[in-house]
């Protein structure tokens, strides 16, 4: 027992809590993102995601364990792709574009909500100094940042990211389907760009722009709750 206690005492509990909070935030953002892909596809006429049980907020239906671990550790990960059958779409290119865009847009909307929750939680933490409120506040902040990051990352016009499907939708039909055949090689290019840091600048600028839109919501929520007390 003494050896177990000594081992536990050496653990960096702050870092462990940080990883757990980040993992929980990533699960929320990924689940919401993928579910909205499926909902958009259904709205455009494709029932494939619904038939395969992907129109669910159950994380187990969407989260890839390895992809989640990579997202938490390296800030680059993936989920189980939502199955889409463009043959159901009246206009396949437009259907794919709308379905793809639904993911990033949903994450931006989620970031607004999470930032508002952060403002409320932060006020109550200052008011009570409750430890559980501290961790809840950190969760909301982390989830909002991850949701913003997931949105801007997926908007990059690099296959297989959502942004590529939106961009390809404006291309001629023949060229569109030719490029879609090489989608798998886009992942290799994406990994290289991430490892070399080429995308750090553009991603930072894009996320800063989105954060500039969402952050005032947190301040507004904080001030609103404060007005009921003082």
Name which of 31-35, 137-141, 163-167, 181-185 the model is least confident about: 181-185
| Residue 1 banded pLDDT, cuts 50, 70, 90 | very low
Q: What pTM, to 2 d.p., does this model score?
A: 0.89
d(CA 131, CA 140): 15
Task: State the chain's mean pLDDT as an integer.
Answer: 87
Q: Percentage of residues in the chain with pLDDT exceeding 90?
A: 58
**What residues are annotated to the active site?**
34
Average pLDDT over residues 199-209: 91
pLDDT digits (tens, 9 = 90+) for 33-74: 999 999 999 999 999 999 999 999 999 999 898 888 887 777
Residues whose CB falls within 8 Å of the CB of residue 50, separated by 6 or more in sequence, listed in order? 38, 42
Q: Which two tokens stand for residue 195?
A: 């490892």
The rounded distance, in Å, linking the Cα atoms of 223 and 167 is 40
């Amino acid at each position: 027992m003494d050896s177990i206690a000594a081992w536990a005492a050496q653990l960096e509990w702050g870092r462990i809590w940080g990883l757990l909070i980040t993992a929980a935030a990533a699960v929320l953002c990924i689940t919401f993102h993928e579910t909205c892909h499926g909902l958009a596809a259904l709205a455009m006429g494709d029932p494939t995601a619904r038939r395969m049980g992907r129109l669910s907020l159950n994380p187990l239906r969407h989260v890839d364990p390895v992809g989640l671990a990579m997202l938490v550790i390296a800030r680059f990960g993936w989920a189980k792709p939502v199955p889409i059958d463009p043959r159901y779409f009246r206009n396949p290119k437009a259907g794919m574009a709308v379905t793809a865009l639904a993911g990033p847009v949903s994450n931006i909307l989620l970031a607004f909500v999470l930032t508002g929750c952060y403002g409320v939680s932060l006020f109550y933490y200052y008011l009570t100094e409750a430890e559980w409120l501290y961790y809840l506040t950190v969760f909301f902040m982390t989830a909002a940042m991850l949701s913003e990051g997931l949105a801007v990352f997926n908007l990059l016009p690099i296959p297989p990211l959502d942004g590529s499907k939106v961009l390809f939708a404006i291309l001629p039909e023949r060229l569109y389907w030719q490029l879609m055949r090489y989608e798998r090689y886009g992942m290799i290019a994406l990994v290289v760009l991430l490892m070399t840091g080429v995308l750090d600048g553009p991603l930072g600028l894009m996320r800063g722009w989105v954060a500039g839109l969402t952050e005032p919501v947190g301040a507004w929520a904080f001030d609103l709750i404060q007005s009921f007390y003082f």
